[in-house]
C-alpha cells in the first residue's frame, strides 16, 4: 500500500452537486440537511468515486451521514444480499448508525438495515438474516459470531466501513476485525473513520486498504464557544477537594468527568456519592446493560455526573453538555481536544475545566502547541463552594418491563401518565424504548405519583412491572 495521501479540500457547495440519487436528495431536504458539514464536503466526493478513505473527524461532525449517503447511493436495492457492512465499537453506536441509515433511506423503498450487536438475542437476528438484508451494522464480536456460524455471508459485500476505528482497537477488537476482513471480497471499497490516527490505525490501513485518501477535519474550538480553565494543585491527593469545590461553584446541570483508568472512575464515583452528588461510572468493566442504563440516566438528567475513561466515552453523543472536567489530563493532546469538544455544542456555551499537578507540565505544553495559545489558569481560592442548590438530579428514571417486542411506543407511556395518571406533560422527560425494557424520565416531584400509577394501573391494557433506577 502507498502512504495515505492528504486530500485537497474540494469546493462542494451543496448536496445537489454530488450526483446523488433523487430519492436521497429529496429526503435530505425534508430532514433539514441544508448544507454539508466539513467532513461531508471533503469526504463524499472521494467516497462517491469508489475510492478508499481514511477520515479523521470527531463525534457529532456528521460522519455517519457522510458514509451513509455514499453507501446508500451505490446500493442495488433489488439485490437482497449484504452489500454494506458497518462495524462499530458498541451496541449503542451501532443502534445510532442504524437509525441514521434508515432515516436517510426512508424514500428508498425496501432498503433493509439490520443491527447485529452483542447483548441482543441471537434468535431475532437469525430470523431477520433469513429474510436477507442490504446493510449490516454491528459490533465486531457479534458479526464474527454470525460469520463463524455461517448465518451471515459477505461474499457480495461492496463497501466495508470501520466507524470509531481507534476505539475498536482500544477495546481489543483487532483480531476480530482482521478475521472479518479476511472474509470480505478483495474487490471492495473500505472507509475508515476515526477521531485520532495512532500507529495501530496506520497498521490496519496498511494491511487492508488500497491507496486511501486521507481527510482530516480539525474542529475549531473557538467556534464551539468553550471556556477552558486550568487549575493546579500541589499533589494528586488534593484533587478531590478541588473537584467538589468546582462542582459547587459552577453548578453545571450535567458534567462529564474524565479519568485515565477504570479503577479511578469507580473510586471517584464512590467519593462523589458519599458527598451527596449523583454520579455514575462509565468504563470497560461494565456489561452492556449497565452501560446502557448509565448513558440513559445521564442523558435524561436523572444522574448529573458521569465519570468515564476515554475508551468508554467514545461514541457517546450528547448535544447539550454544560461541562467537561479533566480529573486527569489525557496522555495525548489530541485526546484532550476531543474531550473538551464534547461541550459547547448546538449553539450553547461550554465549560471545560482541568485539574493538574506540576507533573503535568509537559502535557500542558503539548496542549498549548496544539491550540496555538497559552492556557488560562484559574485561582482556586476564588471559587465559592457554598450552595443553596439541591444536589439531587432534576429527574428520576423509571424502568418498565415492556419494550419494542410488546409494540410499546413513547406515545403510549405519555398517554398513560398524562391522561390516566394526571401528570402534566412538562413533568415528563426523555423516553427510551428498548427491545425488552422502556425507560422514562419523570421530574422528581412527580416520580412517586408516576411510579404508583404504573404499579397499579395498566399500559396498553396490560399490567407492567416498574422500578426506580438508582
Residues 175-185: tens digit of each pLDDT: 999 999 999 99
Q: Where are the domains of the chain?
A: 5-216, 226-382, 395-469
pLDDT of residue 12: 45
More confident position, 405 or 252: 252
Residue 431's closest CA among 411, 456, 404, 461? 411
Neighbour count for residue 107 (Cβ, 10 Å): 16
pLDDT of residue 27: 92
What is the average per-residue pLDDT within 444-449? 93
Label residues 15-25 b or e (16+ Cβ within 10 Å = b): beebebbebbb
The arrangement of secondary structure in 226-382, i.e. its CATH architecture, is 3-Layer(aba) Sandwich (3.40)
pLDDT of residue 316: 72
Number of residues that make up the chain: 470
Task: Let me know if the fold of 5-216 is the same as that of 395-469.
Answer: no
Q: Which of 109-123, 204-218, 304-318, 402-416 has the lowest mean pLDDT?
A: 304-318
More confident position, 58 or 87: 87
pLDDT of residue 315: 62
Beta-ladder partners of 226 = 350
- Quote the CA–CA distance of 421 and 167 in Å, as a whole number: 44
Label residues 45-74 b or e (16+ Cβ within 10 Å = b): bbbeeebbbbbbbbbbbbbbbbbbbbbbbb
For the ranges 233-247, 374-388, 445-459, the one whose mean pLDDT is highest? 233-247
pLDDT of residue 224: 59
What is the average per-residue pLDDT within 263-279? 96
Homologous superfamily, domain 5-216: P-loop containing nucleotide triphosphate hydrolases (3.40.50.300)
pLDDT, tens digit, 9 for 90 and up, residues 135-184: 999 999 999 999 999 999 999 999 999 998 988 887 889 999 999 999 99
pLDDT of residue 192: 96
| DSSP code string of 282-324 | E-TTS-HHHHHHHHHHHHTTSS-EEEE-HHHHTT---S---EE
Longest CA–CA separation in the chain, Å: 68
Residue 31's closest CA among 70, 65, 75, 63? 65
Q: Which of 47-51, 181-185, 199-203, 221-225 has the lowest mean pLDDT?
A: 221-225
- Quote the CA–CA distance of 326 and 59 in Å, as a whole number: 18
- Quote the CA–CA distance of 447 and 441 in Å, as a whole number: 8
pLDDT of residue 119: 75
pLDDT of residue 171: 80
Sole residue written with cell 454491528:
138
Query: CB-side exposure of 289: number of CA atoms within 13 Å?
Result: 8
Strand 428-433's sheet: what is its strand order? 428-433, 438-443, 395-400, 466-469
The angle at the Cα of 374, spanning 372 to 376, to the nearest 5 degrees, equals 135
What is the average per-residue pLDDT within 288-312? 90
**Could you confirm whether domain 395-469 is CATH 3.30.70.330?**
yes
What is the average per-residue pLDDT within 95-108? 92
pLDDT, tens digit, 9 for 90 and up, residues 4-13: 544 444 454 5
- Quote the CA–CA distance of 138 and 129 in Å, as a whole number: 13
On the question of pLDDT at 345 being above 80, the answer is no
What is the average per-residue pLDDT within 391-395? 89
Question: Are 63 and 93 spatial neighbours (Cβ–Cβ below 8 Å)?
Answer: no
pLDDT of residue 352: 96
Residue 162's closest CA among 76, 113, 93? 93
What is the average per-residue pLDDT within 400-409? 89
Write the CB contacts of 16 (distance below 8 Å, at least 6 apart in sequence).
25
Give percent above pLDDT 70 in the chain.
94
- Quote the CA–CA distance of 88 and 139 in Å, as a whole number: 5
- Residue 232: pLDDT band (50, 70, 90) is very high
Crossing angle between the packed helical segments 22-31 and 91-104, to the nearest 10 degrees: 110
- Residue 244: pLDDT band (50, 70, 90) is very high
pLDDT of residue 13: 56
Question: Are 39 and 57 spatial neighbours (Cβ–Cβ below 8 Å)?
Answer: yes
What is the average per-residue pLDDT within 225-230? 92
pLDDT of residue 255: 96
- Quote the CA–CA distance of 83 and 160 in Å, as a whole number: 9
The whole-chain average pLDDT of the chain stands at 89
- Residue 221: pLDDT band (50, 70, 90) is very low
pLDDT of residue 322: 93
On the question of pLDDT at 222 being above 60, the answer is no
Amino acid at each position: 500500500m502507498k502512504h495515505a495521501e492528504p486530500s485537497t479540500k474540494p469546493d462542494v457547495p451543496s448536496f445537489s452537486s454530488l450526483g446523488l440519487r433523487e430519492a436521497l436528495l429529496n429526503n435530505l431536504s425534508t430532514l433539514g440537511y441544508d448544507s454539508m458539514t466539513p467532513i461531508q464536503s471533503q469526504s463524499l466526493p472521494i467516497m462517491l468515486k469508489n475510492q478508499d478513505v481514511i477520515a479523521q473527524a470527531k463525534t457529532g461532525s456528521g460522519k455517519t451521514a457522510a458514509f451513509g449517503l455514499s453507501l446508500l447511493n451505490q446500493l442495488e436495492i433489488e439485490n437482497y444480499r449484504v452489500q454494506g457492512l458497518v462495524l462499530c465499537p458498541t451496541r449503542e453506536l451501532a443502534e445510532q448508525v442504524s437509525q441514521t441509515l434508515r432515516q436517510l433511506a426512508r424514500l428508498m423503498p425496501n432498503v433493509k438495515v439490520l443491527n447485529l450487536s452483542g447483548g441482543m438475542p441471537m434468535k431475532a437476528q437469525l430470523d431477520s438474516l433469513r429474510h436477507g438484508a442490504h446493510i449490516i451494522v454491528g459490533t465486531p464480536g457479534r458479526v464474527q459470531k454470525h460469520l463463524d456460524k455461517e448465518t451471515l455471508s459477505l461474499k457480495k459485500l461492496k463497501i466495508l466501513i470501520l466507524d470509531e476505528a481507534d476505539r475498536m482497537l482500544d477495546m481489543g477488537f483487532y483480531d476480530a476485525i482482521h478475521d472479518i476482513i479476511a472474509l470480505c471480497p478483495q474487490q471492495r471499497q473500505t472507509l475508515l473513520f476515526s477521531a485520532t490516527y495512532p500507529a495501530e490505525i496506520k497498521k490496519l490501513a496498511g494491511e487492508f486498504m488500497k491507496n486511501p485518501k486521507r481527510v482530516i477535519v480539525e474542529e475549531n474550538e473557538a467556534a464551539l464557544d468553550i471556556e477552558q480553565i486550568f487549575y493546579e494543585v500541589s499533589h494528586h491527593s488534593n484533587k478531590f477537594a478541588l473537584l467538589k469545590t468546582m462542582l459547587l461553584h459552577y453548578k453545571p446541570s450535567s458534567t462529564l468527568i474524565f479519568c485515565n483508568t477504570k479503577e479511578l472512575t469507580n473510586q471517584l464515583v464512590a467519593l462523589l456519592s458519599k458527598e451527596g452528588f449523583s454520579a455514575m461510572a462509565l468504563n470497560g468493566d461494565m456489561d452492556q446493560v449497565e452501560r446502557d442504563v448509565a448513558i440513559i440516566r445521564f442523558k435524561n438528567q436523572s444522574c448529573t455526573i458521569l465519570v468515564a475513561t476515554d475508551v468508554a466515552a467514545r461514541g457517546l453523543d450528547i448535544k447539550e453538555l454544560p461541562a467537561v472536567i479533566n480529573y486527569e489530563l489525557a496522555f495525548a493532546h489530541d485526546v484532550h481536544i476531543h474531550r473538551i469538544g464534547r461541550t459547547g455544542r448546538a449553539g450553547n456555551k461550554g465549560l471545560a475545566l482541568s485539574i493538574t499537578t506540576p507533573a503535568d507540565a509537559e502535557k500542558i505544553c503539548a496542549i498549548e502547541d496544539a491550540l496555538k495559545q497559552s492556557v488560562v489558569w484559574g485561582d482556586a481560592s476564588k471559587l465559592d463552594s457554598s450552595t443553596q442548590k439541591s444536589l439531587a438530579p432534576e429527574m428520576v428514571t423509571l424502568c418498565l418491563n415492556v419494550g419494542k417486542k410488546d409494540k410499546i411506543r413513547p406515545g403510549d407511556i405519555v398517554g398513560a401518565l398524562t391522561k390516566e395518571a394526571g401528570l402534566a406533560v412538562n413533568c415528563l422527560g426523555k423516553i427510551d424504548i428498548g427491545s425488552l425494557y422502556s425507560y422514562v424520565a419523570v421530574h422528581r416531584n412527580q416520580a412517586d405519583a408516576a411510579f404508583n400509577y404504573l404499579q397499579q394501573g395498566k399500559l396498553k391494557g396490560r399490567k407492567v412491572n416498574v422500578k426506580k433506577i438508582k
